[in-house]
Amino acid sequence: FQPGDRLPRPQGGDGGSGDEGGEGGGTDDFSFTLSREEFMRLFFDDLELPRMARTTLGEIREQRPRRAGYARHGTPANLAVARSLRNALGRRMALTATARRELAEARTAEAASRPGGSGDDAADGAGDGGGVRIEELRRRVSRVPFLEEIDLRYRHRTMVAQPVARAVMFCLMDVSASMDQSKKDLAKRFFTLLYLFLTRKYEQVEVVFIRHTDDAEEVDEQHFFHDPKTGGTVVLSALALMGRIVEQRYAQAGWNVYGAQASDGDAFGADPEKSRGFLETTLLPKVRHFAYIEVSDEDSPLTTLSAAYRRIEAPQFAMREVHESRDIWPVFRELFRRSGVGAADGA
């Protein structure tokens, strides 16, 4: 099958799984295989990090190759065959122009010296002086090589500085005791999808993993997804750690900072309000986008953290709820849908 082919619908007994024709329905076996790359492209090609910006002129730039014409020296893999043959043709025409002109004149003179003769007859006459001259001129033309090293041209590329779109994504996950296994599983599924999206779509993206109970720590990917550590809940500890890391490693120009936080929303005392205040006044001015994902039961009441976060009014902040695994993909697409792609496209 080719893309765009239409498959006719079987009529009557035309369908089936090899059964004899007749009345009644049947089933046709039809399957196709997607490679991992095709599957990832299907999932992520219409998604992007929101509000991504490149560095401005004069800031950090990356050297990338760009075509810059042709060179006389290079590797065989870069040989420009068409350009080389064109050069060879031009050289042969230039070096044989005089000989070809004299050859044409000699043939014309030989033909004129023989009544009723022709240029072809003259070309075949090798016994007289005219024939010898013609043969000598033909040899002069044929001695010019078809291709010489001077004709060869190679595709040339030069390194050009281009603006770099660099980004860092902070993944903040609540692993306190109130986050039971099902809630942790939802959070990990979301962050796994986010990690696949980042590594598939972007070359210049760093990922910072932060887990928190009543204390926050930066961990590697293995510990983020598999460490069984648990404890109390202080959301502010994770936000504060993110703020310190941004200041220490990503404060210079050229970085697009993003954050994604997953929690069940259970926070106590002054922690929800302190977290909201720190996020709104300290972190959000430094980030391109920050998403809060609350993993909870569908019939759960409004949590203290969610109630506090709802008062944040900033275009780079978004919050969504995930109650079961089937909610993760629609929420993810909604958060990272490319500008100009309608909601219907993600359905």
- pTM to 2 decimal places: 0.59
- Mapped onto helix, strand or coil, the DSSP state of residue 322 is strand
Using the predicted structure, report yes or no on whether residue 266 has a pLDDT greater than 60.
Answer: yes
What is the structure's pLDDT at 41? 66
- Fold for 40-56+163-346, please state it: Rossmann fold (3.40.50)
CB-based burial label for 304 (10 Å; 0-12, 13-18, 19+): middle
Q: Which letter, b or e, does each residue of 142-165 get, where b requires 16 or more Cβ atoms within 10 Å of its Cβ?
A: eeeeeeeeebbbbbbeeeeeebbb
Q: Hunting for tokens 């007859």 — which residue is that?
A: 121
Select the highest-mean-pLDDT range: 19-33, 155-169, 301-315: 301-315
What is the structure's pLDDT at 271? 94
CB hemisphere CA count around 167 (13 angstroms): 21
74 alpha-carbon distance from chain centroid: 29
What is the structure's pLDDT at 344? 40
Round to whole Å and give the CA distance between 339 and 46. Answer: 9
Place 346 in a pLDDT band, splitting at 50, 70 and 90.
Answer: very low
Asked if 177 and 184 count as a contact pair (C-beta separation under 8 A), the reply is no
Using the predicted structure, report yes or no on whether residue 302 has a pLDDT greater than 80.
Answer: yes
Q: What percent of the chain clears pLDDT 70, i.e. is strictly above it?
A: 74
Higher pLDDT, 33 or 269: 269
Using the predicted structure, report yes or no on whether residue 159 has a pLDDT greater than 70.
Answer: yes
Asked if 174 and 135 count as a contact pair (C-beta separation under 8 A), the reply is no
SS (H, E, C) 255-312: EEEEEEEEECCCCCCCHHHHHHHHHHHHHHHHCCEEEEEEECCCCCCCCHHHHHHCCC
Using the predicted structure, report yes or no on whether residue 201 has a pLDDT greater than 90.
Answer: no
Round to whole Å and give the CA distance between 229 and 263. Answer: 15
User: What are the pLDDT digits (tens) for 35-55?
Assistant: 666 666 666 777 777 766 544
Place 343 in a pLDDT band, splitting at 50, 70 and 90.
Answer: very low
Asked if 205 and 198 count as a contact pair (C-beta separation under 8 A), the reply is yes
Nearest CA among 318, 268, 292 for reference residue 187 = 292
Higher pLDDT, 137 or 219: 219
Q: What percent of the chain clears pLDDT 90, i.e. is strictly above it?
A: 33
Place 186 in a pLDDT band, splitting at 50, 70 and 90.
Answer: very high
Q: Which letter, b or e, does each residue of 174-211 get, where b requires 16 or more Cβ atoms within 10 Å of its Cβ?
A: bbbebbeeebbebbbbbbebbbebbeebbeebebbbbb
What is the structure's pLDDT at 42? 67
What is the arithmetic mean of pLDDT over 189-213? Answer: 86
Instruction: Spell out the domain ranges in the chain.
Output: 40-56+163-346, 71-154
What is the structure's pLDDT at 127? 45
What is the arithmetic mean of pLDDT over 338-342? Answer: 58
Select the highest-mean-pLDDT range: 5-19, 73-87, 236-250, 327-341: 236-250
What is the arithmetic mean of pLDDT over 168-188? Answer: 92
Round to whole Å and give the CA distance between 1 and 33. Answer: 13
The amino acid at residue 215 is D
The DSSP letter of residue 77 is G
Mean pLDDT of the chain: 80
And the tokens for 329?
């993909």
What is the arithmetic mean of pLDDT over 306-326? Answer: 92
Higher pLDDT, 178 or 46: 178
What is the arithmetic mean of pLDDT over 16-32? Answer: 53
